[in-house]
Structure 1
Amino acid sequence: MKIWFVNQYAIPPQQAGPMRHYSLAKELVTLGHEVTIVASSFDHVTQKETRLIAEKPFELEVIDGVRFLWLYTPPYKGNSLARVKNMLAFSWQVAFGRALGTLGKPDAVVGSSPHLFGAMAAWVRAKQLRVPFVLEIRDLWPQSLIDLGNYSERHPIVLALTVIERWLYRFSDHIVAVLPGIHEPVARKGGHPERITWIPNGVGDLPALTPSAKKDDGTFIIMYAGTHGLANGLDLVLDSAKQLATQPETRPVRFVFMGDGPERQRLMERARQEGIGNVVFEPPVPKSQVYGKLAQADAYLLVLQDSPVFQWGVSPNKLFDYMAMRKPTLFGINTPFNPVKQSGAGLTFSPGDPASLPQAVTELLRLPPDKHAEMGLAGRQYVNEKHHFTNLALKYQHVFFQVARR
């Protein structure tokens, strides 16, 4: 089959950030499909142009057998009006631009929803071509704006996104949910319950189990690797770092933040002003180098704001990278869907309780090394069984066969 994945922020392994669609596409190519990822050449993580100029609006590139159609979109910084313009420019090209016309006719189009404008544009193009459309829901929009961004339910942007959301749920040929508990709210808003499939994020080639690359100076290193955004609740980590620095633990603790995002500069400035010396900020690295960096830590950290939007679950790429490294993970998300607790891969803390993370760190420090190893092995086995992209691609292939028959 010829398959298109439309995701403005999709990237290859040479760049830093999530690689869900590259990893899925690579596995689907192995299964005999031709896969094209339609994405923007403007890197959302670094907020820099990677390939194109305005005079060269698109380019087709093949990476490891996966076809990338890069579209030029105007630059932006932060969550500004320029970013909205960037989203709309990408969406217009997907729906009506000539670049996609150079690809021929696909057998199915997947519209992913880092934002709904791009997914809606993919639906429009699929209907023009009279081919099946699969909606991939990564987050619940616009509910995330209401719960995390404090937008009113009557805000014009929220109202517009609500119309798009319900339209896509109702008129998609199939819905792929990245979050495990999303079936109920999607069905309530018009999605067909029997046409919803859960396909979470995962890992591709598992990292080799080599000795730790960290320099053992007696410091216990806890690493956070990922976006520094509003939803990530990283001020809690700075608060915890300050508290732990004043406690006479058996081992000193250092938090390492690796990545980028709109909150990064503010967090760095706060750490400097408040003299939080046991926090280090490192830049993002390409996916091909992530595991080497993760090997420098003793444990990993996943935290999100204490928000009701996570009641439907989470599926962050970094969580499965952590678990693949065979070291403990500290999980701080208020959700009933907790892979760390389910697998025994670490400890859970409450993001709404400022004392909870320091307590979890203290508990982890008191555990013997063989207990850390036991947690790490449990996480590794869990992702290998449930979140390996080889298996996830087979689930996607089944969806494509379903919509093709239908």
Structure 2
Amino acid sequence: MISFLIKVLRYEAIIAKKYGNPDVVTGCSVHPLAWLAAYHIAKKYNIRFIAEVRDFWPQIWIASGIKKPNDPMVLFFGAIQKWVYKHADRIIYSLNHGDRYLCDELGVPKNKIFLIGQPMDCKRFDTNKEKLYLLPPQIYNFISNGFICSFAGYYMAYEGVYVMLEALRILESRDLPVKMVFVGSGQEKEGMLNYIKENKLQNALIYDRIPKEVIPVLISCSDVCMAHLAVQGHKEVYQYGVSKNKINEYLYSGACTLYGSFYHDDEVSESGGGIVFEPYKASDLADKIEQVYYMTEEERRQYGIRGREYIKNNHSVEILADKMLKVLFQ
């Protein structure tokens, strides 16, 4: 973090000399020191300083149980946070309910904050989803029949991979022709393979990561897309929402999104593009999958239509680019 700050201060004059003085500067909280670098540049050139917030440091540490409220690092970054929010001309946040933290808890004026979520290149997605030939043969053959539930992401416990496999075990015991395909990587891959073997699951495929441009093909061929974002014992971690490209892609895919979350005011629910299930409860996920399985084709299609419309209207590159320009320059 410190090395980044030092490099910005060292090279910003060189960049300005080569490309011209900046008109506005945005500091994005990959870490909070990026804000300080941006503030320095804003003052030097007498331009607008925008603080962009991707994660609420240090709140996320406290909510996840990583650090205590009186930890020196929490106090240090908390002080930076308050100072930056006070001195920024405008604040951009990407979490759907981030205003509850910024305004309700920290007292930031509402006219100073602007929601700009994760952008979605809908045109590129629509082009890529037609490239069926890019699917690895093993995946192509696996999804050629049956009711397909897909997962794309990290093989981590908080991503719900074992919850999903346990749900599949329940569904197989009900003799439902449901298949689950997983593409990704992560530390739980070996454990997932062992779970499949120990429970004699017949309809699961664990695959490695596939190129990002192939993801639209897979999830557009699926009946259900599965996501799970919850930390056991720390419900508050995602209380202000999530900012995940994966959720955008799921909702835009045309499939019904099933999302494991402690909260029901998320974009999956609000868009009407999916259904929320209780996190870490495989039986609830199994019931929700069975619910979607027994829907009519038209009922399932409506979830996809609502999800696509929501993403087009709220996350498309074109929509967010216009919002960004207004925040930066108006």
Report the TM-score range of the alignment, normalised by the length of the smaller protein.
Answer: 0.7 to 0.9
* 1:184 corresponds to: 100
Q: Which of residues 92, 112, 115 is equivalent to 2:6?
A: 92
Counterparts of 2:320 and 2:144, CA distance in 1: 40
CA distance in 2, matches of 1:111, 1:186: 17
Indicate the residue corresponding to 1:340 in structure 2: 268
Matched positions, count: 309
CA offsets, 1:198-243, max 9 Å, x none? 1122312333387794545433332222345575344433443444
Q: Supply the distance in 1 between the matched residues of 2:126 and 2:196 (Cα, whole angstroms).
A: 37
Asked if the contact 2:251–2:274 (Cα under 8 Å) also holds between the matched residues in 1, the reply is: no
* Structure with larger RCO (C-alpha < 8 A, sep 6+): 2
Does structure 2 retain, via aligned residues, the 8 Å contact 1:331–1:349? yes
Q: Structure 1 residues 275, 318: CA separation in 2 closer, same or farther (over 3 Å shift)?
A: closer
| Counterpart position of 1:226 | 153
Normalising by the residue count of structure 1, what TM-score does the alignment of the two structures yield?
0.68
**Residues 239 and 100 of structure 1: CA distance in aligned 2, closer, same or farther (over 3 Å):** farther
2:77 counterpart (157, 161, 171): 161
User: Is 1:309 matched up with 2:230?
Assistant: no
Letter paired with 1:107: D
Instruction: Give the Cα–Cα distance (whole angstroms) in 2 for the partners of residues 145 and 96 of structure 1.
Output: 30
**Is 1:249 equivalent to 2:175 in the alignment?**
yes
**For residues 3-402 of structure 1, what are the structure 2 equivalents within 5 Å?**
87-97=1-11, 100-101=15-16, 102-187=18-103, 188-206=105-123, 207-208=125-126, 213=132, 214-215=140-141, 216-228=143-155, 232-245=159-172, 247-258=173-184, 260=185, 264-265=186-187, 267-276=188-197, 277=201, 278-286=204-212, 288-306=213-231, 307-402=235-330
**1:271-290 CA distances to partner (integer Å, 9 max, x unpaired)?**
1333355241321524x443
- Post-superposition offset of 1:365: 1.7
- Output one character per residue of 1:247-281: Cα deviation in whole Å (capped at 9) or x when no partner: 233213213133x4xxx12x112113333552413
TM-score of the aligned structures, taking structure 2 as reference length: 0.83
Amino acid paired to 1:274:
Y
What is the root-mean-square deviation of aligned Cα atoms in Å?
A: 2.6
Amino acid at match of 2:324: Y
Contact 1:221 1:297 in 2 (8 A): yes
Q: Give 1:294 deviation, angstroms.
A: 2.8
What percentage of aligned pairs have identical amino acids?
24
Offset of residue 108 of structure 1: 0.8
